[in-house]
Amino acid sequence: MKNPLPPVPARTDPELRAFLESVRSAVKTILERGNLNAGDLKDAGIITAEQADRLKGRGGK
**pLDDT tens digits for range 38-54:** 888 888 788 888 988 88
Residue 22 has pLDDT above 80, yes or no: yes
The domain locations on the chain are 14-55
Q: Which helix (H) or strand (E) holds 6?
A: none
pTM of the model: 0.55
Residues 2, 11 contacting (CB under 8 angstroms): no
